[in-house]
């Protein structure tokens, strides 16, 4: 038995040991540090580095700029460093760290002085092919067809040669090769629209738009099967009440948005009347009665902290009524001038009604994961009816204008004839789509994305159109034993198909002592039940930002892209036993393909404290299984078979920045070389929508000494396009049209602008009231959109130019609240 002394000694030892155990446990206590890393505008910075100075561990931010990590509690001082390429690092110091901490930091961009020129990094580096389009500029850009597309039309690689249309061509592609997404759902255009006058409003409402991204090629696998471009639109989710209404000579618009509890909503209506604008078309005296109207709404409801439901709805209606009276056009050269005059009888009446709805559920179980499920539905009913009779006179004026007596006596008369155009066309189409997407941040280096989509399509097309022509009393074409029409087309076709698609891609991001590397390898697979075609589309995006120059980035992108056929591409026009032209759907049609490679670079810099960016992209596309087309105004008519290969190569340059302090402007230059080699006797031909050059300018300025008066200018110079005689079908181009040249300018005067000093009484309800004056086609240039082909008695063809709008003024007022 132990002596009492030893017992007391053992007891004391155990007591002291027990006393120190809690202290040891306390020393090993873990605390959590979390928060958000934001830029100076409050936007999240993805993949920012967060680390404890002097310790071998840390973390990075997720998609929302959120981070968290655990650390052993300590009474010693702790320093946490926040850093990201292109931003100034920031260190937060603590005298001790004994409890959980929530720390939000804002990083400012870095500035480096190089030989008197200050170079500055933007808040986010463009590590892929997507460019950000500033939505606020869409509201002030002067254009008869103002909107997001009018801005995109001034970007490098993009060409627009018709101010009445929102459609655009990207790097030589057709209008159908451009994808448009709104909130992750692909949207469609009416299919029967053949002239820009019928087109009306585009789907995108600039008042509702919150974010716009655009890629002219080399986009990632999460976007669908098109080979030219993608325009990705995100609508706003207002946090407080906002709205505006605008009224002008061309129409008006209004929208309102707000948030009530868990519900956020925004909605808008637009109306456009083309009467004043279309009456300004050269040479044609006619009654125009076009009306375009649409209404959209976007609702979001936060079911819980992790689940959000949303609905996007749209209804659009176009009524186009056209009653032509006379037309008189002089064309040719000074030495060989011709005069074309036509007297009309009849009218055209077209109606287009489209409905669109999308319901989405978005689940965010954690800051590292996001998934969404979307159901969408698109339906269009289109009607095109016209009976127009025209009696025309074609005279050779020569160097001197003949007198009326000479013309009546037949002196200089090349042709006297009559034409009758008839159509009763109806088209009904519907598309039902289900899309599932998943997004995971696996680590600070990997972000995995994948998705599935299933689509049902139904199109019913009924066409009955013909054109009769005669010259000098003879029906054309001349056939001895019968009377024939100049051309006709009949269709009674229906398509009921389904499509399946899926994609998988990984965003890889890591930093070495050389700089920041990002890679986005991905693959997309698609199946179409109509032709039993299965395609696999590997795609790649990569970038490198050197550590010794945070204002420079290099990009590389490419892959195999497919142009999935829709209804128009299936139509193969042939002849029946009676010689009538009919539509037959080609079930052997395949997707057009393009192997694409592009390399680009961005350089950010400051000159005289103004931010600038210079962008250059060099690209090459090898086209195969081409389904050639003819362009008729804005209508695309396809051959209906895959009969050739081709190529597109070019260089796009863009200078973006503050030419005037505080506002963004840009200048773009694009140069392009293209061609296609076709079978069936067509041989080598140019691509129909590929101008050899395109120069665009968007410029803003303020009136000296008064920043309430601002100016916006939009200029375009685009090379001429090849012109084909539609009566000859798919044939060699007859000639190349002249270049498209246009400058639109707008001036805005802020009658009222709310600030803290005058936000009182009645005026406190308004944010800004602006009065605008626009001059469309400032230099009154006669641009040619298309050609009206006529024949003399010997079937000789003459191309009479269809001119676009001349100079016109527009007055508008906008009230923001």
Query: Across residues 12-35, what is the average pLDDT?
Result: 54
How far apart (Å, rounded) are the C-alpha atoms in residues 549 and 636? Answer: 46
- Strands of 58-60's sheet in order across: 58-60, 49-52, 78-83, 90-94
- Give CA–CA dist 798/469, Å, rounded: 14
pLDDT in tens, 693-710: 999 999 988 887 777 888
Cα–Cα dist 675/673, whole Å: 7
Tokens of 285: 């005296």
pLDDT reading at 206 higher than 80? yes
Q: CA 280 to CA 756: how far, in whole Å? A: 45
The pLDDT value recorded for residue 693 is 96
Strands, DSSP E only, in 303-443? 307-332, 337-366, 369-398, 413-441
Question: Which residue reads 């949207």 in tokens?
Answer: 187
Task: Find out whether 141 and 104 touch, Cβ atoms under 8 Å.
Answer: no
Q: pLDDT tens digit string along 432-484?
A: 999 999 998 888 789 899 999 999 999 999 999 998 877 665 666 666 666 67
The fold for domain 24-108 equals Immunoglobulin-like (2.60.40)
How far apart, in whole angstroms, are the C-alpha atoms of residue 66 and residue 37?
6
With CA atoms as reference, report the closest residue to 500 among 536, 529, 531.
529
CA distance 482 to 476: 11
Residue 91 has pLDDT above 90, yes or no: no
Query: Do residues 725 and 759 touch, judged by C-beta distance below 8 A?
Result: no
Tokens representing 586?
């080609």
What is the SS3 assignment for 175?
helix
Residue 281 DSSP symbol: B
- Where exactly are the structural domains of the chain? 24-108, 131-587+603-816
Q: What would the pLDDT profile of 305-336 be if each residue is shown by its tens digit?
A: 889 999 999 999 999 998 888 888 887 776 67
Helical (H) or strand (E) element with 150: helix 148-152
791 token code pair: 């024949």
Does CATH number 2.40.170.20 belong to domain 131-587+603-816? Answer: yes
Q: What is the pLDDT of residues 30-60, one digit of tens each?
A: 788 888 888 765 667 877 788 888 776 667 7
> What are the CB-based long-range contacts (under 8 Å, 24+) for 699-702?
699/659, 699/665, 700/137, 700/140, 700/659, 700/660, 700/663, 700/664, 700/665, 701/659, 701/660, 701/663, 702/660, 702/662, 702/663
Reported pTM: 0.82
Contacts of 502 (CB under 8 A, 6+ apart): 450, 451, 452, 453, 524, 525
Where would I find the beta strands (DSSP E) of 513-576?
515-528, 533-546, 552-563, 571-575
Q: What's the mean pLDDT in 256-267?
A: 93
Residue 499's DSSP bridge partners are 455, 528
Residues 338-343 have a mean pLDDT of: 85
């Amino acid at each position: 038995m132990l002596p009492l002394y030893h017992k007391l000694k053992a007891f004391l030892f155990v007591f002291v040991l027990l006393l120190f155990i809690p202290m040891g446990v306390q020393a090993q206590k873990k605390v959590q540090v979390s928060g958000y890393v934001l830029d100076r505008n409050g936007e999240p910075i993805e993949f920012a580095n967060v680390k404890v100075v002097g310790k071998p561990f840390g973390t990075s931010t997720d998609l929302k700029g959120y981070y968290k990590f655990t650390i052993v509690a300590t009474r010693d001082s702790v320093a946490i460093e926040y850093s990201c390429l292109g931003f100034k690092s920031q260190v937060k110091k603590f005298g001790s760290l004994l409890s959980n901490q929530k720390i939000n930091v804002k990083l400012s961009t870095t500035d480096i002085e190089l030989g008197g020129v200050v170079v500055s990094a933007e808040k986010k580096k463009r590590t892929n092919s997507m460019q950000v389009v500033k939505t606020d500029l869409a509201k002030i850009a002067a254009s008869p067809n103002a909107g997001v597309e009018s801005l995109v039309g001034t970007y490098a690689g993009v060409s627009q040669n018709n101010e009445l249309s929102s459609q655009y061509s990207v790097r030589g592609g057709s209008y159908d090769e451009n994808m448009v997404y709104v909130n992750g759902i692909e949207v469609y255009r009416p299919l029967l629209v053949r002239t820009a006058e019928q087109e009306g409003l585009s789907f995108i409402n600039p008042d509702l738009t919150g974010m716009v991204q655009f890629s002219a090629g080399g986009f990632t696998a999460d976007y669908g099967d098109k080979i030219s471009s993608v325009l990705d639109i995100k609508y706003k989710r207002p946090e407080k009440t906002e709205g505006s209404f605008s009224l002008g000579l061309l129409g008006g618009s209004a929208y309102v948005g707000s948030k009530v509890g868990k519900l956020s909503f925004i909605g808008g209506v637009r109306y456009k009347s083309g009467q004043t604008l279309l009456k300004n078309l050269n040479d044609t005296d006619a009654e125009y009665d076009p009306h375009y109207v649409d209404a959209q709404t976007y609702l979001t409801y936060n079911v819980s902290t992790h689940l959000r439901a949303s609905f996007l709805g749209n209804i659009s209606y176009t009524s186009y009524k056209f009653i032509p009276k006379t037309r008189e056009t002089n064309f040719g050269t000074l030495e060989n001038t011709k005069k074309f005059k036509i007297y009309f009888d009849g009218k055209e009446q077209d109606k287009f009604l489209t409905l669109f709805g999308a319901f989405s559920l978005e689940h965010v179980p954690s800051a590292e994961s996001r998934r969404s499920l979307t159901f969408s539905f698109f339906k269009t009913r289109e009607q095109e009816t016209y009976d127009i009779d025209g009696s025309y006179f074609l005279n050779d004026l020569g160097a001197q204008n003949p007198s009326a007596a000479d013309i009546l006596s037949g002196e200089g008369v090349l042709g006297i004839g009559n034409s009758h155009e008839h159509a009763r066309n109806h088209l009904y189409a519907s598309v039902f789509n289900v899309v599932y997407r998943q997004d995971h941040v696996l680590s600070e280096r990997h972000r995995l994305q994948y998705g599935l989509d299933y689509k049902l399509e139904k199109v019913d097309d009924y066409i009955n159109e013909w054109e009769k022509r005669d010259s000098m009393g003879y029906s054309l074409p001349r056939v001895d034993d019968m009377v024939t029409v100049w051309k006709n087309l009949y269709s009674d076709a229906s398509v009921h198909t389904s499509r399946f698609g899926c994609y998988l891609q990984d965003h890889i991001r890591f930093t070495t002592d050389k700089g920041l590397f990002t890679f986005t390898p991905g693959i997309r697979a698609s199946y179409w039940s109509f032709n039993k075609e299965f395609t696999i589309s590997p795609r790649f995006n990569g970038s490198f930002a050197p550590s010794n120059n945070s204002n420079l980035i290099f990009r590389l992108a490419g892959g195999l892209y497919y142009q999935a056929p829709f209804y128009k591409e299936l139509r193969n026009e042939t002849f029946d036993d009676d010689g009538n032209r009919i539509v037959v759907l080609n079930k052997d049609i395949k997707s057009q393909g393009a192997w694409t490679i592009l390399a680009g670079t961005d350089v950010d810099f400051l000159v005289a404290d103004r931010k600038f960016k210079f962008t250059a992209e060099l690209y090459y596309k090898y086209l195969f299984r081409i389904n050639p087309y003819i362009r008729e105004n804005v209508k695309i008519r396809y051959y209906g078979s895959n009969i050739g290969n081709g190529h597109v190569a070019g260089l796009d340059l863009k200078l973006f920045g503050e030419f005037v302090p505080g506002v963004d402007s840009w200048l773009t230059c694009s140069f392009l070389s293209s061609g296609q080699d076709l079978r069936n006797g067509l041989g080598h031909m140019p691509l129909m929508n590929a101008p050899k050059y395109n120069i665009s300018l968007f410029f803003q300025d303020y009136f000296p000494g008064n920043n309430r008066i601002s100016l916006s200018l939009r200029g375009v110079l685009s090379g001429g396009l090849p012109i084909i005689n539609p009566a000859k079908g798919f044939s060699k181009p007859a000639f190349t049209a002249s270049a498209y040249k246009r400058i639109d300018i707008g001036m805005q005067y802020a009658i009222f602008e709310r600030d803290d000093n005058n936000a009182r009484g009645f005026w406190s309800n308004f944010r800004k009231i602006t009065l605008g004056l626009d001059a469309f086609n400032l230099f009154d240039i006669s641009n040619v959109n298309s050609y009206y082909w006529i024949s003399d008695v010997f079937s000789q063809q003459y191309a009479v130019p269809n001119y676009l709008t001349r100079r016109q003024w527009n007055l508008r007022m906008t009230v923001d609240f």
